[in-house]
Amino acid sequence: MDKVTFHDYAALNAEERSAILRRSEADLSDFLEKSKPILEAVRTEGDEAVARFGRDFDKAAVTKDTIKATAAEFDAAFSMVDAETIEAIEFGIANIRKFHEEQAPEAMWLKEIRPGAFAGDRFTPIKSVALYVPRGKGSFPSVTMMTAVPAVVAGVPELAIVTPPAPDGSVDAATLVAARLAGVDTVYKVGGAQAVAAVAYGTETIKPALKIVGPGSPWVVAAKRLLSGVIDTGLPAGPSECIVFADDTVNGGLAALDLLIEAEHGPDSSAYLVTHSRRVVEEALAALPDHWSRMTEQRVAFSKTVLTGRSGGIVLTSSVQESYDFINAYAPEHLEILSQDPFAHLSHITEAAEVLMGPHTPVSIANFCLGPNAVLPTSRWARTYGPLSVTDFVKRSSIGYVTASAYPEFAKYAHRLATYEGFSSHANAVSPIREDYLKMASD
Ligand SMILES: NC(=O)c1ccc[n+]([C@@H]2O[C@H](COP(=O)([O-])OP(=O)(O)OC[C@H]3O[C@@H](n4cnc5c(N)ncnc54)[C@H](O)[C@@H]3O)[C@@H](O)[C@H]2O)c1
Ligand SMILES: N[C@H](CO)Cc1c[nH]c[nH+]1
Ligand SMILES: [Zn+2]
């Protein structure tokens, strides 16, 4: 059997421990270098470059005139996707919408900070956002749902999906179905670095957007990084990753089953089983061949690359506390807590973008249809970013309102601080000069 990477955590030195934390995204230098001319070509040549890169990188029959999916293509998609898949998309959208409606902030709040002085926040939709839906090592109607639903709940008026075309020049049919059912009717057939450039700069066909969200391959991650001064690139979401944490109350075969979920995304994914139970490790190793025998050849190859390489495998700790410490240091995108009592572990884990509780909540359910967003920060960004949410599609303005009765006290203190900081106009604006003008207005 292929040798699954195994770490006896207590025996590792500091350097070996930090090597396990490393993700494939850590070194993007090659992608950054190769993306630069792609971005520049899209900026200067527009649609011409978009179509050319579609032919070069996606081997797709796309021309300048077919970059935008037509209404007829949307209609046709509904007859191409089977009824059960459409029903699953509807089920997912309903749950994702419910979750994000609950999450949406109040349009405005205003509180009396001092008698007669009010302050709060107002949230308004971002005017235009592009949604990146990957298509390379899979097609992703689920990413369409996860990006489109919160954007629609937030009320973004201009939404467009960018997604790589298939060799026949088509958009994945289920992606079109999910887009329309979620409320997005603009889809451009462009992927990779060129998609990020197209929505950052705009082309003859593609409208520029203020922000782009959505996960992608290192090409997408690299382009976002290079264009972060031109377009808001949102939370960093690269190759999928997961920790399956198991205590000694579950079967290791179940842990192995779930370990393969995110390990099968691609050779650049990361996936670890973390446990302090040697029994769980032995059961997991024994179960893997059986699980592999039920997977497609491509997914077996991807997951074997991950689990036998440097970004996946098994971490055996010496205690449950050591498992918590490793998980918090790793800061995974997805974390499963496989335990009969998952809530006993929850408070010990603070650095994970998504925590899925107990043996009935595998990553697959959350990836597709539970409700919380499955577009999540990768590469340890869970230490500062959260999942994609409605708040990614709105911006916040502060609102302040000082009444005449509250003004004198605020003016006194503002004047003092303005004087200290050396800003004479700031001070004048809250001096008796203002009161003279206010009197004139009311005379
Ligand atoms: N973090 C999340 O929330 C999340 C969710 C879903 C998927 N993902 C991840 O997103 C990624 C999707 O990757 P993917 O490859 O399937 O789709 P993708 O659409 O991100 O990348 C494919 C595109 O990359 C470009 N490309 C490929 N080879 C190229 C080359 N040699 N030169 C220039 N450009 C090239 C092409 O334009 C192609 O269309 C996976 O790593 C998956 O794990 C992450
Ligand atoms: N695992 C991805 C997020 O990291 C989401 C997804 C969609 N389809 C399959 N998986
Ligand atoms: Zn997944």
- Half-sphere exposure for 347 (CA within 13 Å, toward CB): 1
Tell me the pLDDT tens digit for each residue of 14-38: 999 999 999 988 889 999 999 999 9
Mean per-residue pLDDT, 405-433 = 98
The pair of three-digit structure tokens given for residue 173, joined into one six-digit string: 């049919």
Residue 313 and residue 294: Cα distance in Å, rounded?
A: 19
Q: Is the CB of 237 under 6 A from ligand 1?
A: yes
Using the predicted structure, report yes or no on whether residue 165 has a pLDDT greater than 80. yes
326-327-331-332 Cα dihedral, nearest 10 degrees: 130
d(CA 105, CA 195): 30
Fold agreement between 6-23+239-372 and 29-105+124-235: yes
Q: Please state the three-class secondary structure of 19-52 as a single string.
A: HHCCCHHHCCHHHHHHHHHHHHHHHHHCHHHHHH
Provide the pLDDT for residue 138.
87
* Rounded-to-integer distance, Cα 349 and Cα 239, Å: 22
Residue located nearest, by CA, to atom 5 of ligand 2: 367
CATH class of the domain defined by 29-105+124-235: alpha beta
Contact 368, 95 (CB under 8 A): no
Query: Looking at residue 308, what is its pLDDT?
Result: 98
Q: What is the mean pLDDT of residues 1-6?
A: 89
CATH number of 6-23+239-372: 3.40.50.1980
pLDDT for 121-150, tens place per residue? 999 999 999 999 999 888 999 999 999 999
Chain mean pLDDT for the chain: 97
ipTM of the complex: 0.98
CA–centroid distance, 23 to ligand 2, in Å, is 17
User: What is the residue whose two structure tokens read 């990006």?
Assistant: 147
Q: What residues does each domain of the chain span?
A: 6-23+239-372, 29-105+124-235, 404-442
Query: Reading across the β-sheet that carries 128-132, which strands appear in turn?
Result: 187-189, 158-163, 128-132, 211-213
Measured from the Cα of 195, ligand 1's closest atom is: 37
Q: Which residues are CB-contacts of 407 (< 8 A; sequence separation ≥ 6)?
A: 116
Span 349-404, pLDDT tens digits:
999 999 999 999 999 999 999 999 999 999 999 999 999 999 999 999 999 999 99
Encode pLDDT of 403-418 as tens digits. 999 999 999 999 999 9
93 in Cβ contact with 181 (< 8 Å): yes
pLDDT of residue 395: 98
Please report the atom of ligand 1 found closest to the CA of residue 54.
37
pTM for this predicted structure: 0.96
**Ligand 2 mean position, distance from CA 143 (Å):** 7
Mean pLDDT of the 282-298 span: 98
What is the pLDDT, as a whole number, of residue 1? Answer: 62
Determine if ligand 1 sits within 6 Å of the CB of residue 191.
Answer: yes
The pLDDT tens digits of the residues spanning 271-288 come to: 999 999 999 999 999 999
Question: Taking every pair of C-alpha atoms in the chain, what is the biggest distance, in angstroms?
Answer: 92
pLDDT at 173: 98
Q: What is the DSSP string of 206-258?
A: SPP-SEEE----HHHHHHHHHTTTTSB--S---S-EEEEEE-TTS-HHHHHHH
Using H for helix, E for strand and C for coil, what is the string for 374-401? CCCCCCCHHHCCCCCCHHHHEEEEEEEE
Distance 300 CA to ligand 1 centre (A): 19
Cα-trace Rg, the chain: 26
Per-residue pLDDT reduced to its tens digit, 62-111: 999 999 999 999 999 999 999 999 999 999 999 999 999 999 999 999 99
- Name the pairing type of β-strands 241-246 and 211-213: unpaired
**Residue 25, pLDDT score:** 80
pLDDT band at 39 (very low <50, low <70, confident <90, very high): very high
Catalytic residues: 333-334
